[in-house]
C-alpha cells in the first residue's frame, strides 16, 4: 500500500511558477518510479513527467524546458516545478506511482493559469 499526498497548486498568472510536492510516507520510495499527470476539463488524463528510482526523467513535449520533476528520497517526496506557465497548463494535477503491480494515485490538485 502506497499513500500519495499532494499539496501545492493554486492560481497563477501566465508566465508564473508553482511547485507541487507529492509525499509518499512510509513507502519504499527510493525503489519506485514516480510520475505526474494532469487532466484538463473535457480532456483525458495525460502524462506530464516521470522520474525513475535512479533519477532518469521524461517529459511530455508540451512541458519540456518549462517543468522539472525531481525527487528527494530522504523526504520521500517528488516535486514538479512548473515555470513559464501558460493558460493551457490549467488542469487538475495528479501524482502517481506503480508498486507491487498496483497503480496508486494521489488526490488531485487544481492549477489554474489565468490573467
- In tens, the pLDDT along 99-115 reads 888 999 999 999 999 99
Distance CA 100, CA 87 (A): 37
What pLDDT sits at residue 115? Answer: 94
Nearest alpha-carbon partner for 78 in 66, 89, 86, 70:
70
pLDDT in tens, 32-51: 899 999 999 999 999 999 99
> Can you give the three-state secondary structure of the chain, one letter per residue?
CCCCEECCCEEECCCCCEEEEEECCCCCHHHCCEEEEEECCCCCCEEEEEECCCCCEEECCCCCCCEEEEEECCCCEEEEEECCCCHHHCEEEEEEEEECCEEEECCCEEEEECC
- What is the C-alpha R_g of the chain? 13
Q: How confident is the model at residue 30 (pLDDT cuts 50, 70, 90)?
A: confident
Can you give the pLDDT at residue 29? 80
What whole-number distance in Å separates Cα of residue 101 and Cα of residue 109? Answer: 25
Amino acid at each position: 500500500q502506497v499513500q500519495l499526498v499532494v499539496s501545492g497548486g493554486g492560481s497563477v498568472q501566465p508566465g508564473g511558477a508553482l511547485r507541487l510536492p507529492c509525499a509518499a510516507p512510509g513507502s519504499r520510495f527510493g525503489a519506485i518510479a514516480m510520475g505526474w499527470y494532469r487532466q484538463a476539463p473535457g480532456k483525458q488524463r495525460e502524462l506530464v513527467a516521470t522520474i525513475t528510482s535512479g533519477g532518469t526523467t521524461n517529459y511530455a513535449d508540451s512541458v519540456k524546458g518549462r517543468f522539472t520533476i525531481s525527487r528527494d528520497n530522504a523526504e520521500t517526496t517528488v516535486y514538479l516545478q512548473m515555470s513559464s506557465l501558460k493558460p493551457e497548463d490549467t488542469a487538475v494535477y495528479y501524482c502517481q506511482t506503480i508498486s507491487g503491480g498496483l497503480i496508486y494515485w494521489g488526490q488531485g490538485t487544481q492549477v489554474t493559469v489565468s490573467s
